Amino acid sequence: MSDPDLVQVLIELGVAVMEQHPEGTFTAVGRMPPWLARLLPGWAGDSPLVIQEHVPFLESFLPDALDFWTGKGEGRLRSGLCAEVDESGGEYHYEVSALCVGDRRLLLFELRKDFEETREILQKARQNLLDYELLERTQRALERSQLELRKAKDAAEAATQAKSAFLAHMSHEIRTPMNAILGLTGLLLNSPLETRQREFLEIVRNSGETLLTILNDILDFSKIESGKLELEQAPFDIRRCIEDALDLFAVRAAEKQLDLSYSCVPAVPFQVVGDVTRLRQIIVNLVGNALKFTSAGEISVSTGVQRREDAAWELHIAVHDTGIGIPPDRRDRLFRSFSQVDASTTRKYGGTGLGLAICKNLAEMMGGRMWVESEPGKGSTFQFTIVAGAADSAVPDYLTSSQPELAGKRIWIVGSTATNRRILEEQLESWGVTTRATDSLAEARDWKAAGQTCDATILDLPSQTLDWQALPKPWVELTQGGRLDAPEARAGVRARVSKPIKPAGLHAAMMSLFGGQEVQEPTKTAALSSQGAPALQRVRILLADDSTINQKVGLWILESLGYRADVAGNGLEVLEALRRQPYDVVLMDVQMPEMDGWEASRRIRADLPSERQPRIIAMTANVLEDDRQRCLDAGMNDFVSKPVRPEELAAALKRCPGSAPASPTAAGESGQPEKQLEGFDPAVVAALRGMGKPGQPDVFSELLLIFRNMLPGQLAQIRQAVADNQPEALEHLSHKLRGSSANLGAKSIASVCGRLEALGKEKKLDGATRILEELEAAIRLCSE
């Protein structure tokens, strides 16, 4: 395009074009647009014009334009926005550019927007700029505070981590010596001791147990605080969980003559999904407190349930006691950590004031809440809810309402507490049984005298009650559960149900009466069975621990359980021992010098052929969940915490596959052949042998081991009572030994003890030394 063409196009586009002359003036090229003509009044357009005089704004632009033209610059030089008002007040906004077209120096005027619009745009831009600046400043401040927050959070997290690590470490450090204290005290208590020595040792053991509970509480609390406590999600049997918790208190409740009862509405599902250990922990804590703060009356645990919309269950558990109660103004502080109703509580009852705070937190973590209702002097009801997922499972017999063997039967309930009678009525009636209950023996006898009949009588009467024989047979007796030395059974009782009454136990007793099944209620004896495991004596065990004391304690505990073991002092020695000979089980301490237990386990799993792989049981004072996981990750199979409790170790050893005497040979190897059991009643022995589950060591063998272990200690105590001329002690000790011997069928010991007990009662110890010799002979006979 030629130069005149270009200028023409510009003019067509509404651009005003002026040409600069050498003397500095301008003339218009072509037509001037009216807006520009109004800004240049008095200029006709064809005469030369001095721009600066008319458009002062361009004063600073023109020298630049001159440079541009003389430099023959390419393109175009822009002035930026100009704003002018004409004589009649019209506002214009335009832009001026310098342009070189060949040798011509052109000045172009282009109209942009009108003034108002421009001002708005400018204001908006300025505002945006301000906003932007503000935004930027805010952003910078935010970033700064975020950084500070992150730093503070990191510091807080590091502090919590340090606290947790410190607590875990401290707990480890304390548990290691506690292991020795508790383990050795337990073993000493099983040996012959003088009465005072025994008393002192029992205090040592109880104090040790208390210290350990406090330690566990503090550790739990710190885990909850630091959010490290994780809940398990696995199916479990709710009734079993509550029953297990109550079993722990059966003996203590009996000693305090408190009635412990438990009820569970039939709607409570058999199994739900949740954390059984933590639920049991809450119940144990509440029942433990109830026992601690109640001196007379009863403690009852009841369970209810509600189905929620999301198909989960809301369980409601209440622990009621008739104890000292809590004043209304003190209730709010109950669930706070480290707080007790009043400071004197600690002196009188002990405790840290952490238990309820932990329980409340646990209930809340399980989707529920915890609260208390209480009346001072009358008692308290601690209650909580949890939400648990539904679990699909087959329902056991005793939970179904269809019971053809029991439906239509009539049962009388005589004696016991109102709560127990109510529990029995509800449970029996849910099976279609008709019940009649009274606390008065006389009333029941009146029923009989009036010619009324029933199919069985459940009785729970004080042992000195004599005239209960008049009640209709067969009899089912309620017993205080969990005692080997319970008062002698009443002759003629067909079945027993131990308190707290459990649906499964009651069902078993009923079926033994009406279902033609010889079912025995599982009793505490079965629970004790975990302590002994003679059937496992042949298990080859390697015990790894760097502490000589821990090695000794471990060996002694194993020995008391009927095992032998070899010892290794660190991971390297474990590997060496395993190379030399195969072991079935390695009990592995984790923190050992030279090579720790984790590394040793990893090596074992990597290096040994499959047929020589032992089962590895971690034995450690580290009790956090992480530690457990770390052990499993390293290839270990199981976990026993320190201080090692014999029951826990026995249970872990029992879990070893193939260790149970499944075959007759295995049972024969370990069990005592019956013909050697001089001094035992074969009928009792046979009954106890029949109680074991298939594939499990028989209950009798296990009890026999425990019994034999405690005989020397008990004999020594009796001997001491005679030597010190203490008839009461002699009566008490002989009574105790008579009870446990009778339970096990050791009739010769029981009978000699009966005579010693009578001497004690009559306060005549003259012939005691001679009878003592008979006792020694009987014990020798039963120990062979």
Complex with ligand ADP: residue 332 or 611, whichever CB lies closer: 332
Q: What part of residues 272-311 is at the interface with ligand ADP (CB under 6 A)?
A: 285, 289-290, 293
Provide the minimum distance between the beta carbon of 383 and ligand ADP in the complex, in angstroms, as a whole number.
12
Q: In what order do the strands lie in the sheet with 638-641?
A: 565-568, 541-544, 585-588, 615-620, 638-641
Complex with ligand ADP: residue 354 or 506, whichever CB lies closer: 354
Residue labelled with tokens 């660190």: 570
Strand 379-390 to strand 271-274: parallel, antiparallel, or no bridges (unpaired)? antiparallel
Provide the minimum distance between the beta carbon of 594 and ligand ADP in the complex, in angstroms, as a whole number.
42
Binding mask 367-386 for ligand ADP (x = CB under 6 A): -------------x------
Q: In what order do the strands lie in the sheet with 456-460?
A: 434-438, 410-415, 456-460, 475-480, 493-499
Q: Pick the piece of the chain touching ligand ADP (CB under 6 A) from 14-22, 350-358, 510-518, 553-561.
A: 350-358
Complex with ligand ADP: residue 260 or 290, whichever CB lies closer: 290
Q: How many CB atoms lie within 10 A of CB 768?
A: 23
Q: What's the chain's Rg over C-alpha atoms?
A: 46
Provide the minimum distance between the beta carbon of 355 and ligand ADP in the complex, in angstroms, as a whole number.
3
Task: Confirm or reject binding of residue 345 to ligand ADP (CB under 6 A).
Answer: yes
> Tokens for 680?
């035992």
Provide the minimum distance between the beta carbon of 323 and ligand ADP in the complex, in angstroms, as a whole number.
5
Cis peptide before 500 (omega within 30 of 0): yes
Complex with ligand ADP: residue 11 or 326, whichever CB lies closer: 326
Complex with ligand ADP: residue 168 or 324, whichever CB lies closer: 324
Which one, of 496, 497, 498, lies nearest residue 481 by Cα? Answer: 498
Which amino acid belongs to residue 684? V
Cis peptide before 376 (omega within 30 of 0): no
Q: Pick the piece of the chain touching ligand ADP (CB under 6 A) from 355-363, 411-419, 516-524, 734-742.
A: 355-363
Provide the minimum distance between the beta carbon of 228 and ligand ADP in the complex, in angstroms, as a whole number.
21
Query: How far is residue 559's CA from residue 553's CA, in Å, rounded to a whole number?
Result: 10
Three-state DSSP at 385 gives strand
Residue labelled with tokens 């509404």: 14
Q: Are 585 and 542 in contact (CB under 8 A)?
A: yes
Would you give the DSSP letter of residue 673?
Answer: P
Three-state DSSP at 311 gives coil
Complex with ligand ADP: residue 171 or 285, whichever CB lies closer: 285
Distances (CA, A) of 509 to 18, 241, 494, 517, 705: 121, 21, 9, 9, 28
Task: Confirm or reject binding of residue 29 to ligand ADP (CB under 6 A).
Answer: no
Provide the minimum distance between the beta carbon of 481 and ligand ADP in the complex, in angstroms, as a whole number.
22
Complex with ligand ADP: residue 167 or 357, whichever CB lies closer: 357
Provide the minimum distance between the beta carbon of 384 and ligand ADP in the complex, in angstroms, as a whole number.
13
Provide the minimum distance between the beta carbon of 345 and ligand ADP in the complex, in angstroms, as a whole number.
4
Binding mask 304-343 for ligand ADP (x = CB under 6 A): -----------------x-xx-x-------x-----xx--
Provide the minimum distance between the beta carbon of 149 and ligand ADP in the complex, in angstroms, as a whole number.
34
Q: Are 342 and 330 in contact (CB under 8 A)?
A: yes
Distances (CA, A) of 459 to 247, 421, 494, 512, 761: 21, 10, 11, 16, 29
Provide the minimum distance between the beta carbon of 220 and ligand ADP in the complex, in angstroms, as a whole number.
12
Query: How far is residue 482's CA from residue 723's CA, in Å, rounded to a whole number?
Result: 32
Provide the minimum distance between the beta carbon of 293 and ligand ADP in the complex, in angstroms, as a whole number.
4
Q: Which of 183, 186, 208, 355 binds ligand ADP (CB under 6 A)?
A: 355
Q: How many CB atoms lie within 10 A of CB 361?
A: 20
> Tokens for 191?
């040996």
Complex with ligand ADP: residue 15 or 291, whichever CB lies closer: 291
Could you give phi then psi for residue 680, rounded to 5 degrees?
Answer: -110, 150
Point out which residues pair with 303 in neighbouring strands.
264, 317
Complex with ligand ADP: residue 325 or 614, whichever CB lies closer: 325
Complex with ligand ADP: residue 355 or 745, whichever CB lies closer: 355
Q: What part of residues 112-141 is at the interface with ligand ADP (CB under 6 A)?
A: none
What H or E segment, with its residue span, contains residue 503? Answer: helix 503-514
Q: Which of 300, 352, 560, 570 binds ligand ADP (CB under 6 A)?
A: 352
Distances (CA, A) of 544 to 539, 571, 616, 637: 16, 8, 11, 15
Q: Are 7 and 30 in contact (CB under 8 A)?
A: yes
What H or E segment, with its residue span, contains residue 374? Answer: strand 370-375
Give me the residue whose beta carbon is nearest to ligand ADP. Answer: 351
Which one, of 565, 556, 734, lies nearest residue 186 by Cα? Answer: 556
Q: Pick the piece of the chain touching ligand ADP (CB under 6 A) from 8-16, 187-195, 348-356, 572-580.
A: 348-356
Provide the minimum distance between the beta carbon of 743 and ligand ADP in the complex, in angstroms, as a whole number.
33
Query: How far is residue 353's CA from residue 214's CA, in Å, rounded to a whole number?
Result: 10
Complex with ligand ADP: residue 302 or 530, whichever CB lies closer: 302
Q: In angstroms, how far is the first alpha carbon of the chain from the final one?
A: 129
Complex with ligand ADP: residue 144 or 369, whichever CB lies closer: 369
Complex with ligand ADP: residue 348 or 494, whichever CB lies closer: 348
Q: Which of 10, 62, 108, 356 binds ligand ADP (CB under 6 A)?
A: 356
Binding mask 643-672 for ligand ADP (x = CB under 6 A): ------------------------------
Q: Are 474 and 430 in contact (CB under 8 A)?
A: no
Provide the minimum distance between the beta carbon of 280 and ligand ADP in the complex, in angstroms, as a whole number.
15
Task: Confirm or reject binding of residue 542 to ligand ADP (CB under 6 A).
Answer: no
Q: Which of 183, 351, 697, 760 binds ligand ADP (CB under 6 A)?
A: 351
Query: How far is residue 328's CA from residue 332's CA, in Å, rounded to a whole number?
Result: 8
Query: How far is residue 506's CA from residue 409's CA, in Å, rounded to a whole number?
Result: 14
Complex with ligand ADP: residue 293 or 598, whichever CB lies closer: 293
Provide the minimum distance between the beta carbon of 341 and ligand ADP in the complex, in angstroms, as a whole number.
3
Complex with ligand ADP: residue 218 or 478, whichever CB lies closer: 218
Q: Pick the piece of the chain touching ligand ADP (CB under 6 A) from 259-267, 352-360, 592-600, 679-687.
A: 352-360
Complex with ligand ADP: residue 20 or 383, whichever CB lies closer: 383
Q: Please work out the total of residues on this chain that contact ligand ADP, with binding judged by CB under 6 A.
A: 20
Provide the minimum distance between the beta carbon of 326 and ligand ADP in the complex, in angstroms, as a whole number.
5
Provide the minimum distance between the beta carbon of 376 and ligand ADP in the complex, in angstroms, as a whole number.
9
Q: Pick the piece of the chain touching ligand ADP (CB under 6 A) from 131-139, 164-172, 344-352, 650-658.
A: 344-352
What H or E segment, with its residue span, contains residue 242? Answer: helix 238-247
Provide the minimum distance between the beta carbon of 299 and ligand ADP in the complex, in angstroms, as a whole number.
9
Long-range contacts of 517-520 (CB under 8 A, 24+ apart): 518/690, 520/687, 520/690, 520/691
Q: Pick the piece of the chain touching ligand ADP (CB under 6 A) from 346-354, 645-653, 686-694, 741-749.
A: 346-354
Cis peptide before 643 (omega within 30 of 0): yes
Strand 104-114 to strand 234-237: parallel, antiparallel, or no bridges (unpaired)? unpaired
The footprint of ligand ADP (CB under 6 A) covers 285, 289-290, 293, 321, 323-324, 326, 334, 340-341, 345, 351-357, 380
